[in-house]
Each structure stands twice: as structure tokens, then as C-alpha cells.
Structure 1
């Protein structure tokens, strides 16, 4: 059984523990197990964030992790920066990319 199996998909009982706390705990356990130092990452506008679920190829995940380690910027913030940059750029460049 892995730590991901401990995540609940149904709402928790009203014992004062939220699903976000459990997800945060599990994610912290993963980072600890892999020896990754977890840094607090805040949004630029100080607002709330929206969780998103998506898949990365092993190469993309490795590249994102490498950029994060090299720059000291957490992965979620890097993605927000790249999204923001692409939002305000010319889409023609994106159409010409052969990303799988």
C-alpha cells in the first residue's frame, strides 16, 4: 500500500481535520521520503490557489525538477510563471512546438 492510497475521495467527518491537511501531510511524506527539501511557495498576488491535476511525462517532470533546483523557485510557481508568460505571448510560437 502506498501513501497515495491513504487519500480519501469522500468528505471527512467533522472532527476538525480537512482534506487539504491530509493531502498536505501525504505530500510532505513523499518529499521527506525522496529527500527533497520542501519550501513554502506563495502566490504573487497573495490569493488562494486552485489545485489542478495533470500528468507530466517523466522527462518533463525531470526538467521541471531540474529548473526548480537550479533556480530555487518551487515547481508550482514555475508553472504559473510559464502560463502567465504564454498567456501574454504570441500563440504562433506554441503552435510550432512539437511537444508530446
Structure 2
């Protein structure tokens, strides 16, 4: 499951609700304010989060998700790098996400 910005949070919501269907979730610059539930289920899919240093709201949200997923003992990566909220940033990261999931 993969998404960017608001659909980055959608990918988290759907992927975490259906871990038997989605083995990996890619969430780039997750936004819109969806927050992790107080208790995450067990058997979570692997999650790759990325956000740029020039998009502080999205970076903060990705960090909240990464912390919650780590606390639930999920396999999670948070990649923070220079960049802003837009297609070039996400396109460059997608090959890293795919290599992490399938490499």
C-alpha cells in the first residue's frame, strides 16, 4: 500500500487495518491529521515513512507515526531528508521504498 500526503495517511489506515493483505506500507509525507490509535493491533505490516526537512508539519506527523509503530514493535523505517512537499521529493524516494520492501 502506498500513498503521499493525505493518501499517505490513508495508506497507513488501510494497511494497518488489513495486515494480512498488505505486507508493506509506504507513507510519504503523511498529512491531514489522522493520528495513531491509542492501541495498535499486533501483526502489523512493515512500514516505511519519509518526510522532508522543509515540510515541518508532515515530518512531525511521520515522527508521531514512527514512534507509535516502534512502540507496537512494528518493523518501521523513518527516512528524514532534505526536501519539501511535492512530486520530485516523493518520486526520488519511491525507489528507496521499493528496494527496502522488495530488495
What is the TM-score normalised by the length of structure 1? 0.27
Question: Which protein is richer in strand relative to its size?
Answer: 2
Structure showing greater relative contact order (alpha-carbon pairs closer than 8 Å, 6 or more residues apart): 2
Provide the TM-score with structure 2 as the length reference. 0.26
Larger Rg: 1
